[in-house]
Amino acid sequence: MEAPVGRAARSGPSAQRAVTVLALRQTWRGALVVTALAATMSAVAVSAHHSTVKEPSDAAALSALAGNPAIRTLFGEPLALWDAGGFAVWRTGTVLAVLFSVWGLLAATRITRGEEDSGRWDVLLAGRVPVTTVVVRHIAVPVAAVLLAGAAAFVGLVAAGADAGGAAVHGAGLALCGVFFVAVGAFASQVFAARSSASGAAVAVLGIGMLLKMVGDGVAGLGWLRWLSPFGMAALTRPYDGDRPEPLVVLAVVCLLPLACAVIVAGRRDVHGGLLPPPSGRAARTLLLGSVRAFAVRRLLRPLTAWSVGIGVYYLLIGVLALSMTDFLTANPRFADLAARAGFTGLGTVRGYVATLFALLAVPAGAFVAVRFSALAHDESARRLTLLLARPLTRTRLLTAEITAVLGGAVLLTTVTGLATWAGTAVVGADLGLLAALSGAWNVLPVVLLCLGTSVLALGWAPRAVAFAGCAPAAGGFLLKVFADTSSWPAWVGWLSPFTHLAAVPGTSVDWPAALLMAAVAVLATAVGAVGYRSRDLRG
């Protein structure tokens, strides 16, 4: 019976290609979005330089503004702001690095540990392709995606007129940040036996890396901390201000360590298991299992805690830095004007400063809502809801419980953010009351409601697009406003963004008509989504 052996040998490369195609099918949509954003944001930032920095004196003034420790901590070290490419790197570099990293680690955990947990790898791993090859192929695809996104950032900069040398260094730094966190996500997926634990561990590494960079940027004596962070090493390449390749070499070598560990551990663990075995022998935890509403709250608690801690710490830092930055701008009104032209308006007072940064809170808060409904869609496709819905329980009741829990979580998340900001300003004696801080944080809830509405709408009619649709009002609306403001687009284009209608609270009063209109649109989208969810078949 030699034929089967020969056939098996010949089918090896074909089977491995099939595994690669499988991973590609699971990631191409997200990879396309990240690549498009990298190119577009880079090109728009270069174009914005021409309207923001019109004279050499403007660049010097902007450099002095950004040299303030508060600005350096929040937005990174400014380099070569007289150059359009250097300005674009400062405006978009940190945002794109975090975008690449978050997408990379979540994609890695989803298509490895997530697919294995759901049982979709059972038949695959029973075939001719060994588990290490499956893992390697599923790592290679997101790695290639972030490398392509880095190349897209290079193309966007060069196409808009920036120098190719600095663009190449910047694009390589962004790509290697993404590669590192793909590797971290893949390694965590082999260590932990649950996707949530793997994703949580990888996100914790990302948060620590970002914190090290921020401290290294803001405190001159601790600049060495940036060598301990992939974001910091990417910044140390100094695009358009020396173009140093050494940090790229170090970062590339660092990326190999979690990649190698992921492959090694993959061959030493059991299927559906991890390097660290799950806890056993503990008593059953039945808290919040008495009703469908309580169960929705139980599912929400751990991710809500993680999101609240991460966002709260960031806004605590914003509060601590409030007085330092506003004092600087008050003494230098010319810098405040340049900051406004760079996209940072209202920074001259404590209330205006926190109002500007509170508007950004809509993006992570909206992403939190979208991720929660995406998890519900994933639980459905993984058949975790089948037995639950086989009971005398309507889908409307299940969806209502989820909506109530997620909405309550969003309110709590914004409340924690407001409290953290107030606490930070109180530490330094800045003039910001508790109610003012809370009102500024709560002001973004209409945009969050839009994210909830579009998430439910997608859950009912396009379950595979829940995460993308849910993030569109916040992340997409913010990008739309930035592009409309910096590219001289027609006024009606910017009007489509919810951020255009978001008042600068607590600097001004709430725009109640706009807020109520956004809430009404969210309720309508939720109702239409609920109809679709109730009438469609279960995914599985």
Q: DSSP assignment of 172-226, as one string?
A: HHHHHHHHHHHHHHHHHHHH-SSHHHHHHHHHHHHHHHHHHHHHHHH-GGGGGGG
Final residue belonging to a domain, choices 237, 271, 305: 271
> Could you give the CA distance from residue 18 to residue 20 in angstroms, rounded to a whole number?
5
Helix axes 350-359, 395-428, angle to 10 degrees: 150
212-250: per-residue pLDDT in tens? 998 898 887 888 999 999 999 999 999 999 899 999 999
Q: Are residue 33 and residue 107 in the same domain, yes or no?
A: yes
Whether 185 contacts 104, CB under 8 Å: yes
pLDDT at 490: 79
Q: Which of 34-38, 264-268, 483-487 has the lowest mean pLDDT?
A: 483-487
Does the pLDDT of residue 11 top 50, yes or no?
A: no
Whether 101 contacts 180, CB under 8 Å: yes
Task: State the DSSP H helix or E strand holding residue 159, giving kind and residue range, or none if neither.
Answer: helix 131-159
Closest CA to 359 of 446, 435, 430: 446
Instruction: Measure Cα distances from 89 to 143, 183, 239, 412 in Å.
Output: 22, 25, 7, 34
Mean pLDDT of the 175-189 span: 96
Q: Are residue 336 and residue 426 in the same domain, yes or no?
A: yes
Of residues 14 and 227, the one with the higher pLDDT is 227
> Could you give the CA distance from residue 402 to residue 223 in angstroms, rounded to a whole number?
45
Q: Are residue 265 and residue 338 in the same domain, yes or no?
A: no
At 90, which amino acid appears?
W
> Could you give the CA distance from residue 143 to residue 492 in angstroms, rounded to a whole number?
39
Average pLDDT, the chain: 87
pLDDT at 224: 92
Does the pLDDT of residue 198 top 70, yes or no?
A: yes
Per-residue confidence at 91, pLDDT binned at 50, 70, 90? confident
Residue range(s) defining the domain that contains residue 523 = 292-540
DSSP type of residue 375: H
Tokens of 464: 């595979």
Tokens of 274: 């991890």
Q: Are residue 259 and residue 329 in the same domain, yes or no?
A: no
Final residue belonging to a domain, choices 219, 241, 271: 271
Q: Are residue 410 and residue 449 in the same domain, yes or no?
A: yes
Let me know if residue 112 belongs to a domain: yes
Q: Are residue 133 and residue 23 in the same domain, yes or no?
A: yes
What share of the chain has pLDDT > 90, as a percent? 54
Q: Are residue 325 and residue 438 in the same domain, yes or no?
A: yes
CB atoms within 10 A of CB 271: 10
126-178: per-residue pLDDT in tens? 777 888 999 999 999 999 999 999 999 999 999 999 999 999 999 999 999 99
> Could you give the CA distance from residue 454 to residue 377 in angstroms, rounded to a whole number?
14
Cα dihedral sign, 190-193-199-200: negative
Q: Are residue 399 and residue 296 in the same domain, yes or no?
A: yes
Task: State the DSSP H helix or E strand holding residue 506, giving kind and residue range, or none if neither.
Answer: none
What number of residues does the chain have?
540
DSSP type of residue 465: G
Q: Out of 58-72, 229-243, 329-343, 375-389, give the one with best mean pLDDT.
A: 229-243
Q: Are residue 172 and residue 67 in the same domain, yes or no?
A: yes
Per-residue confidence at 66, pLDDT binned at 50, 70, 90? low
pLDDT at 237: 95
Closest CA to 115 of 147, 79, 139, 98: 139
Q: Are residue 404 and residue 440 in the same domain, yes or no?
A: yes
Q: Are residue 257 and residue 335 in the same domain, yes or no?
A: no
Q: Are residue 227 and residue 375 in the same domain, yes or no?
A: no
Let me know if residue 43 belongs to a domain: yes
Per-residue confidence at 4, pLDDT binned at 50, 70, 90? very low
Closest CA to 79 of 96, 97, 91, 95: 91
> Could you give the CA distance from residue 178 to residue 37 in angstroms, rounded to a whole number?
14
pLDDT at 297: 92
Task: State the DSSP H helix or E strand holding residue 450, giving kind and residue range, or none if neither.
Answer: helix 445-461
Does the pLDDT of residue 1 top 60, yes or no?
A: no
Of residues 9 and 419, the one with the higher pLDDT is 419
Q: What is the pTM of this model?
A: 0.82
- The total number of structural domains that make up the chain: 2
Rounded to whole angstroms, the maximal C-alpha distance in the chain is: 87
Q: Give the three-class secondary structure for 332.
A: coil
Tokens of 216: 């290294």
Tokens of 99: 């975008």
Whether 251 contacts 173, CB under 8 Å: yes
> Could you give the CA distance from residue 227 to residue 225 in angstroms, rounded to a whole number?
5
For residue 129, give every residue at least 6 positions away whose Cβ sits within 8 Å of its Cβ, in sequence order, or none: 12, 15, 16, 19
Per-residue confidence at 57, pLDDT binned at 50, 70, 90? low
Helix axes 292-320, 395-428, angle to 10 degrees: 20
CB atoms within 10 A of CB 533: 22
Does the pLDDT of residue 336 top 70, yes or no?
A: no
Does the pLDDT of residue 10 top 60, yes or no?
A: no
What share of the chain has pLDDT > 70, as a percent? 89
> Could you give the CA distance from residue 236 to residue 245 in angstroms, rounded to a whole number?
9
Whether 265 contacts 249, CB under 8 Å: no
